[in-house]
């Protein structure tokens, strides 16, 4: 398991599968911005789960086929999205 320095948890499930987990403000643009980071790299998430409760959005995004460097870079980019609060 590795954690990026800015707050998005990246859990390794296998050598090439990563699950990103984070909490964010329950704002309409947070999830699309997170998914856009993957789409810009030609990646399609294997699994996406998001649940809103009050003013908080809990998100898990699972991606397959990432190299360690790419996984770390995506995690750093996710942590810089406006509204991302912390890991869980």
Kindly tell me if the per-residue pLDDT of 73 is higher than 50.
yes
User: Do residues 40 and 51 make contact, with C-beta atoms less than 8 angstroms apart?
Assistant: no
Dihedral Cα 74, 77, 45, 54, nearest 10 deg: 140
Tell me the C-alpha distance between 57 and 64, whole Å.
Answer: 23
**68-79 helix and 30-39 helix, angle to the nearest 10 degrees:** 150
pLDDT tens across 51-69, in order? Answer: 999 999 999 999 998 888 8
pLDDT tens track for 11-37:
655 667 899 999 999 999 999 999 999
Show the domains of the chain with their CATH numbers: 2-86 (3.30.70.260)
Is this model's pTM higher than 0.85 or not? Answer: no
Residue 54 confidence (pLDDT) = 93
């Amino acid at each position: 398991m590795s954690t990026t320095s800015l707050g998005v948890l990246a859990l390794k499930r296998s050598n090439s599968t990563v699950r990103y987990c984070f909490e964010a403000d329950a704002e309409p643009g947070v999830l699309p911005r997170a998914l856009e980071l993957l789409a810009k790299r030609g990646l399609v998430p294997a699994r996406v789960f998001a649940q809103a409760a009050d003013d908080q959005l809990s998100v898990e995004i699972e991606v397959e086929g990432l190299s360690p460097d790419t996984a770390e870079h995506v995690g750093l980019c996710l942590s810089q999205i406006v509204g991302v609060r912390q890991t869980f």
